[in-house]
A and B are shown apart, each in its own frame.
Chain A
Amino acid sequence: MPMTDVFLKVGLNHYLFLSALLFTVGMLGVLLRKNVIVILMSIELMLNAVNITFIAFNRFQQPEQYNGQVMVFFVMTIAAAEAAVGLALAVMIFKKFKQVNIRFFEHLKG
């Protein structure tokens, strides 16, 4: 396949590239930011990237089955649950230290 076609014909690979890019951005956010809430948001970003992969594979490889879509359903549920608990923790940290720095998580005992 000649290289020029890579950009001209959007296929499964393009969705996977996009997903990889979004995942990396989310990972950078987790590693570089200090704010707990931004870190949580970056995790949501990574989960979204994974969802794109699921849907893209589902569409291109098994267009008549729905395993990928059901998986995305579950991933979304887990992501929302994680956000709910994560934010509850972040709010606790904020109430104690008036700041939501990831550093303060080590002081949470009992």
Chain B
Amino acid sequence: MLALSDYIFYFLAFTAFFSACSVILVQNPIYSALFLASTMVAVAAIFVSLDAGFVAGVQLIVYAGAVMVLFVMVLMLFDLKHDLDAFSPGILSGAFKLASVGVILGLIMGSIYMSADMVFNSQVTPIPATLDPVRGLATTLFGNYLFAFEVIGALLLVIAIGAVTLSRVRGGTHAND
């Protein structure tokens, strides 16, 4: 019998997959962005069901709350409603692309299936209640990954400067600078 958590997984997985497909099939990019946001929320819910609550929260704040809002804002600001020929032209190249994606999907699925015996054994072990997940995450982040963390800080600084500089290149509203 399916347990309750399995129903939840299938529901969330279906939501994520359905909205992901809609992202690439819908003509209007604004709808694409909204569907992608719903995929992100479904993925965040999947994270919660995998006991990664903090990462789920970050997913909501960063992806659903910031990145997708940026996408939606850009699409609305520039009025990109009319995206008539949404797909790249060419039947032959299209078929080729589809086929290559199919091959890759087959390979991934096959490899997952082949290793099924290896990973199927790993049943869910409940996390001990004494462990505070966020504490553990923080200790790992500031322990083993400290260097990566500082590099991320530097990267974000570079991105902040780069994005502003990019938006200043001639032709923008900053042409008078």
A and B touch in the complex (CB under 8 A): yes
A binding-site residues for B, Cβ under 8 Å: 1, 8-18, 20-29, 31-35, 37-38, 40-42, 44-45, 48, 51-52, 55-56, 58-61, 63-67, 69-70, 72-74, 76-81, 83-85, 87-92, 94-96, 100, 102
Residues of B within 8 A of A (CB): 1-2, 5-6, 9-10, 13, 16-17, 20-21, 23-24, 29, 32-33, 36, 39-40, 43, 46-47, 50-52, 54-55, 58-59, 62-63, 66-67, 70-71, 74-75, 78, 80, 83, 85-88, 94, 97-98, 100-101, 104-105, 108-109, 112-113, 116-117, 119-120, 122-125, 127-128, 131, 133, 136-137, 139-141, 144-145, 148, 152, 155-156, 159, 162-163, 166-167, 169, 171-172
Inter-chain contact total with CB atoms closer than 8 Å = 230
Query: A78 contacts which chain B residues (CB < 8 A)?
Result: 155
Check A64 against B74 for contact (C-beta < 8 Å). Answer: no
Which residues of the partner chain B approach A74 to less than 8 Å between Cβ atoms? 145, 148, 152
Taking the nearest CB of chain A, how far is it from the CB of B98, in angstroms? 7
Chain B residue at minimum C-beta to C-beta distance from A34: B88
The CA-CA distance from A31 to B94 in the complex, in Å, is 8
Closest Cβ–Cβ distance, residue B100 to chain A (whole Å): 8
B63 touches A38 (CB 8 A): no
Secondary structure of the B contact surface, majority rule: helix
A31 close to B97 (CB less than 8 A): yes
**Pick the contact of A88 from B46, B66, B166 — CB < 8 Å?**
B166
CB neighbours of B58 from chain A (8 A):
73, 76
Name the CB-closest residue of A to B172: A95
Contact B6 A9 (CB under 8 A): yes
Min Cβ gap B147→A in Å is: 12
Contact indicator A17/B119 (Cβ below 8 Å)? no
Q: A33-B88, A41-B33, A45-B20 are in contact. Are A85 and B74 (CB under 8 A)?
A: no
CA distance A25 to B24 in the complex (A): 8
Q: Is the CB of B123 within 8 A of A11?
A: yes
